[in-house]
């Protein structure tokens, strides 16, 4: 079943691209609605069929995919803003890695939420009750798969770190040093050189965003439907909580966090 993308897009209605900041606001609203739907589904387990849970999970993942597709289109217009975004808070920007969240954070979130939910259920489990179908019920096979995914993701993060370092070091080329020595007065030449540097960082952003989405999908793929719902709840709760906290700390009008 194909999932509908978020309601808004990066168009201003006249065929011209709208600021990504406007789309980001719609993404926050979309994620808030997704969180409400995920919480409702989690509260209905085990009565809700796995097929229905899987459709919801696929819909939420489709919204993440739409987010990164829109971000990629915006980066093609102005990649610079993707590395110093005005639509996120200074708190969020403190934790940015290559224009977004670090992919291995998804694995850390999985382990943390799993441990918390297992701890909650442990007393009843020790008294003979069955574990609830949430992240506290990860099997040994799932934990092994998660560990292998984490190792692969760390390796890919290091490759992207190296690519970012290469792109950043390219600022000090002979051409740039020569232009800087002349006071950067050759505006056209400076523009061309800076565009090539920005293009290098755009490739880094594309690789990082692709790894972010791929990691999210692969974490969900190793989970059972009910577990995937709980993981997506934890991901949305964390992102929205940090976003709303950061906005309040920056002095913006507080938007009420999703309940």
pLDDT tens digits for range 80-96 = 899 989 999 999 999 99
What is the CB neighbour count within 10 angstroms for residue 22?
14
Q: How many helices (H) and strands (E) does the chain have?
A: 9, 0
Handedness of CA 182, 187, 189, 191 (dihedral sign): positive
The DSSP string of 79-139 is: SHHHHS-SSS-HHHHHT-BTTB--THHHHHHHHHHHHHHHHHHHHHHHTTPPPPSSGGG--
* Per-residue pLDDT at 107: 98
When the pLDDT of each residue in the chain is averaged and rounded to a whole number, the result is 88
Q: Tell me the backbone φ, ψ of residue 200, rounded to 5 degrees.
A: -65, -40
Nearest to 109 by CA among 239, 207, 245, 244: 239
pLDDT given for residue 208 in this prediction: 97
> Residue 235: CB partners within 8 Å, gap ≥ 6?
106, 109, 216
* pLDDT for residue 253: 56
What is the pLDDT at residue 170?
Answer: 85
Q: Is the pLDDT score of 177 beyond 90? A: no
What is the pLDDT at residue 129? 76
Number of domains in the chain: 1
Q: Strand, coil or helix: what is 163?
A: helix
Does residue 239 fall inside a structural domain?
yes
pLDDT, greater one: 146 or 19: 146
pLDDT at position 11 is: 41
What is the pLDDT confidence band of residue 184, given thresholds at 50, 70 and 90? low
- Give residue 185's domain range: 23-250
Residue 13 lies inside a defined structural domain of this protein:
no
Give the separation between CA 96 and CA 64, rounded to whole angstroms.
17
| Residue 8 located in a structural domain | no
Write down the pTM of the prediction: 0.86
**In degrees, to the nearest 5, what angle opens at C-alpha 237 toward C-alphas 102 and 34?**
105
Q: Does the residue 2 lie in any domain? A: no
CB 231 within 8 A of CB 135: yes
196-244, pLDDT tens digit by residue? 889 999 999 999 999 999 999 999 999 999 999 999 999 999 999 999 9
Q: Name every residue whose Cβ is closer than 8 Å to that of residue 147 and which is 6 or more positions away in sequence.
A: none
Distance separating alpha carbons of residues 109 and 123, to the nearest angstrom? 23
pLDDT digit string, tens, across residues 39-68: 999 999 988 999 999 999 999 999 999 999
Establish if 195 belongs to a structural domain. Answer: yes
How many other C-beta atoms are found inside a 10 Å radius of the C-beta of residue 15?
6
Collapsing DSSP states into helix, strand and coil, what is residue 161? Answer: helix
pLDDT of residue 18: 60
CB atoms within 10 A of CB 91: 15
Can you give the pLDDT at residue 4?
42
Token pair 């061309």 in the structure block, residue: 192
Average pLDDT over residues 148-164: 97
């Amino acid at each position: 079943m194909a999932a509908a993308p978020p309601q808004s897009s990066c168009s201003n209605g006249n065929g011209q691209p709208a600021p990504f900041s406007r789309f980001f606001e719609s993404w926050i609203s979309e994620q808030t609605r997704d969180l409400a739907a995920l919480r409702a589904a989690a509260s209905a387990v085990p009565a809700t069929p796995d097929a229905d849970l899987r459709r919801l999970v696929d819909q939420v993942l489709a919204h993440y995919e739409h987010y990164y597709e829109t971000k990629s289109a915006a980066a093609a217009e102005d990649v610079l803003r993707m590395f110093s975004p005005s639509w996120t808070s200074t708190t969020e920007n403190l934790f940015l890695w290559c224009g977004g969240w670090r992919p291995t954070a998804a694995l850390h979130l999985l382990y943390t939420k799993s441990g918390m939910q297992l701890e909650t259920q442990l007393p009843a489990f020790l008294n003979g009750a069955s574990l609830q179908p949430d992240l506290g019920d990860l099997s040994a096979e799932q934990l092994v798969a998660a560990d292998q995914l984490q190792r692969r993701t760390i390796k890919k993060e290091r490759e992207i770190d190296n690519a970012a370092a290469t792109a950043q070091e390219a600022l000090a080329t002979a051409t740039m040093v020569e232009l800087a020595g002349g006071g950067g007065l050759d505006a056209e030449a400076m523009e061309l050189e800076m565009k090539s540097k920005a293009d290098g960082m755009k490739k880094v952003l594309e690789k990082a965003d692709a790894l972010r989405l791929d990691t999210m999908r692969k974490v969900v793929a190793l989970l059972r439907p009910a577990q995937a719902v709980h993981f997506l709840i934890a991901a949305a709760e964390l992102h929205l909580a940090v976003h709303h906290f950061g906005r309040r700390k920056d002095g913006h009008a507080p938007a009420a966090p999703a309940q």
